[in-house]
């Protein structure tokens, strides 16, 4: 299954799970509304943001009313201004009220991730450093949030434990050291599976380079240590800075010459974009 197909399947899974969670045996309050009545609505943003999640939003309404229509005034990746209309919806009135919260939850969450990522990407513009996500995602929404990172201009790290090997401190200890761990990893890696090894000291970096590591994660190093690591590396491996990287540190780290900066805050610290769905009579 290619990425686009995997994403389509994931959207349907996410939407089905979210609607089941919210509706359960039925939306009792929506029964106050005439079942044959149609209504229209408009989503606006109350703050500047990067739009993301339109497919999840649309799939939520389509799941409950296949005849619903959505006219988008922006697409994923577009910058939004406060007060800007995002889309217009025509749907069964009950469906509009039932789907509203679930649809907005997807749109405001994914727009938040894309918006934060875009700000981080802009902060390192002009350097070679790429902003990279992590596995610190909301349970059940990993592919959705990683999609949002890419919409914001970031780069996806491994999706899960199955498509990449990241050898961390505990793996190194259990495997008998960096050199041994890398050898074992190469024996089991296949296809597009990449191998990355974490180092905490410059001596470990030298060992990883001697073992021909192609991707090395510099874990919680000081700026001085990272600067020296870049010189020692001399372009032999991709270097990734990681470990509690804050926005205010980004540019200084990128200017050191690392290739990647991985940031868990892109997906784990979510402050939803403020969106509103206004209802109108047809």
Q: Which pLDDT tens digit goes with each residue over 124-137?
A: 999 999 999 999 99
Q: What is the pTM of this model?
A: 0.94
pLDDT of 170 reads 92
Q: Is 81 a catalytic residue?
A: no
Catalytic residue among 135, 136, 206, 251: 136
Q: What are phi and psi of 159, to 5 degrees?
A: -70, -45
Q: Is 268 a catalytic residue?
A: no
pLDDT of 85 reads 97
Residues 6+ apart with CB under 8 A from 8: none
Residues 6+ apart with CB under 8 A from 217: 166, 196, 197, 198, 199, 240, 242, 262
Catalytic residue among 8, 46, 101, 278: 101
Count Cβ atoms within 10 A of the Cβ of residue 128 and give its class: 0-12 exposed, 13-18 middle, 19 or more buried.
exposed
Q: Is 198 a catalytic residue?
A: yes
Per run of 10 residues, the mean pLDDT along the chain (length 282 residues) is 89 98 94 90 97 98 96 98 97 95 97 98 98 96 98 96 94 94 94 94 98 97 97 98 93 98 94 90 61
CA nearest neighbour of 196 among 228, 171, 232: 171
pLDDT of 281 reads 64
Catalytic residue among 219, 225, 228, 255: 219
Catalytic residue among 10, 100, 198, 240: 198
The token pair that represents 22 in the structure block = 């919210």
* Structural domains of the chain, with CATH: 3-120+270-281 (3.90.1170.20), 126-268 (3.20.20.70)
Catalytic residue among 40, 142, 168, 251: 168
């Amino acid at each position: 299954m290619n990425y686009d197909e995997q994403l389509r399947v994931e959207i349907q899974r996410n939407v089905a799970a979210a609607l089941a969670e919210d509706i359960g045996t039925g939306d009792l309050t929506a029964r106050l509304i005439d079942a044959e009545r149609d209504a229209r609505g408009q989503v606006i943003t109350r703050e500047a943001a990067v739009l993301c999640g339109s497919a999840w939003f649309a799939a939520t309404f389509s799941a409950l009313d296949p005849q619903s229509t959505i006219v988008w005034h922006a697409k994923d990746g577009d910058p939004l201004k406060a007060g800007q209309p995002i889309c217009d919806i025509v749907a069964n009135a009950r469906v509009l009220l039932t789907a509203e919260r679930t649809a907005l939850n997807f749109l405001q969450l994914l727009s938040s991730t894309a918006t934060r990522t875009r700000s981080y990407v802009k902060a390192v513009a002009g350097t070679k450093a790429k902003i990279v996500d992590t596995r610190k995602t909301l349970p059940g929404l990993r592919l959705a949030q990683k999609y949002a990172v890419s919409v914001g201009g970031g780069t996806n790290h491994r999706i899960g434990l199955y498509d990449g090997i990241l050898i961390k401190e505990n793996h190194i200890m259990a495997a008998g050291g960096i050199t041994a761990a890398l050898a074992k990893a190469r024996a089991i890696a296949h296809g597009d599976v990449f191998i990355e090894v974490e180092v905490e000291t410059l001596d470990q970096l030298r060992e990883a380079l001697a073992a021909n590591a192609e991707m090395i994660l510099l874990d919680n190093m000081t700026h001085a240590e990272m600067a020296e690591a870049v010189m020692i590396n001399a372009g032999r491996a991709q270097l990734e800075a990681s470990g509690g990287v804050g926005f205010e540190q980004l540019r200084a780290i990128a200017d050191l010459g690392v290739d990647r900066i991985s940031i868990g805050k892109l997906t784990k610290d979510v402050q939803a974009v403020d969106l509103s769905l206004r209802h109108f009579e047809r």
